[in-house]
Amino acid sequence: MDLSIETKCMYGDREGLKGEPTGSISFPIYQTATYAHPEVGKSTGFDYSRLQNPTRQHLERVVASLENGIDALAFSSGMAAITALMEIFKPGDHLITDIDLYGGSIRLFDNINEKNGISFSHINCSKEDVESYIKPNTKAIYIETPTNPMMNVVDIEKMAEIAKAYKLLLIVDNTFLSPYFQNPLDFGADIVIHSGTKFLGGHNDTLAGFVITNSTEISDKMRFIIKTVGSGLSPFDSWLILRGIKTLAVRMEKSQENAIAIVDYLRNEPKVKNVYYPGIKDSPGYEISKRQSRGFGSMITFEVESPELARHILKYTKLIPFAESLGGVETLLTYPFTQTHADVPEEIRKANGITESVLRMSVGIEAKEDLVNDLKEAISSYKG
């Protein structure tokens, strides 16, 4: 029988604890670097933990199940996952990427991958004619949806149609919605990326990254790369992410409920100029979100009336920390201008609307009344 996503968070592909001889309900941490062989030519299936580890393998099976992929690979961070993925391309290749991406991704593309001979066209994939940027050496389209931090929604199915027509790969960073709310492979993507540090882990206590695919060829390439570059996730961190995923469903639902309440408040606050959230009915991406996602998530970006007010809010919220991350049980406020997107070229920041008055909010699972009141008090205390 087909399992619901809530149940998959607990058991993955129904393998559950099959093959774990003790019957431990919490999958064990196999804290070992190497494995003994019965004799020459025979193996337990594990040789060396850089190649594979039972705890990491179990996590990868769960994540592959959640994203409806045939394979998932767990890396030491989200950026380690993207860095390894870029090794499937070679000097002379060209990629089309959305202009509004996590700043770390842009930093990698512009400073490391371009140095190594890969070129990029950064465009607005939700508005511009993507096909007009395709070149003979174009190999992939790389998007986030919703985008970080401006919450633009990109039509995955449309991008997949373009990619397949030109024999390109479609890569989708699905961090903001998690597999609980969105499954890009179901809409034609070839590869899904996650910063597992965020919603999958859910507790701001470890780093992780994932590459998921439904292609045997890509899986084989990525297995060779992770073995070679050595950036696989450690056993203990794999266990932490497994533990986090068990509560993914309830966390995502509660965080979304809180986010909707905060959006309602912010849209009626005179000192807030703009609120960016895909669940706003008159937002440009609302209908696309309804079609390709099961929810709108808990990430909000909003613009206040001045940079001074933005910095005041960051200083004077009493409950909500000013911190650079997202997806945990704690609500966090981030300042993209100096944090997540500080290394993005100024012209791109301006084009995307990332000003000194913009704040990004990752909404957690606290009481929504407390979160709204904390924002209210911080904003009302500003006398500028």
Report the alpha-carbon distance of residue 121 to residue 138 in Å, rounded: 10
User: Which of 8, 56, 139, 198 is the catalytic position?
Assistant: 198
User: Which of 50, 61, 158, 246 is the catalytic position?
Assistant: 50
Burial of 275 per CB tally in 10 Å (0-12, 13-18, 19+): buried
Report the alpha-carbon distance of residue 323 to residue 333 in Å, rounded: 6
Structure tokens at 262: 């905060």
Tokens 């912010």 locate to 266
User: Which of 30, 102, 142, 180 is the catalytic position?
Assistant: 102
Q: SS3 of 173, please? A: strand
Identify the CA nearest to 335 among candidates 149, 122, 76.
149
Which residues partner with 272 through β-bridges?
304
Identify the CA nearest to 257 among candidates 183, 331, 198, 179.
331
* Catalytic (active site) residue 198: yes
* Catalytic (active site) residue 102: yes
Burial of 353 per CB tally in 10 Å (0-12, 13-18, 19+): middle
User: Which of 98, 100, 155, 173 is the catalytic position?
Assistant: 173
Query: Which residues are annotated as catalytic?
Result: 50, 102, 173, 198
